[in-house]
Amino acid sequence: MSDEQNTAPRKPGGIYEHYCEHPGCKKDGGWGFATGKQAPHWFCYEHKAEGKKYTAQP
């Protein structure tokens, strides 16, 4: 038990489901693409080439 009185309860871990961001695709997005601290964009295997544009450095 913790000595700290006002700590927020921990959220239970779980499985996060990401879906492909390609328009019209409903497949699981197993490949995430991001640069730095930006939010990742998720794509399925078939459309993962589209995600590579999110890792390009300006």
pLDDT at 37 over 80: yes
pLDDT at 1 over 60: no
pTM, two decimals, is 0.67
CA separation for the pair 58, 42 (Å, rounded): 20
What mean pLDDT do residues 27-41 have?
90
CA separation for the pair 6, 27 (Å, rounded): 42
Residue where the block lists tokens 């309860």: 9
- At 52 the pLDDT is 86
Q: CB–CB of 26/20 below 8 Å?
A: yes
Half-sphere exposure of 44 (CA within 13 A, CB side): 11
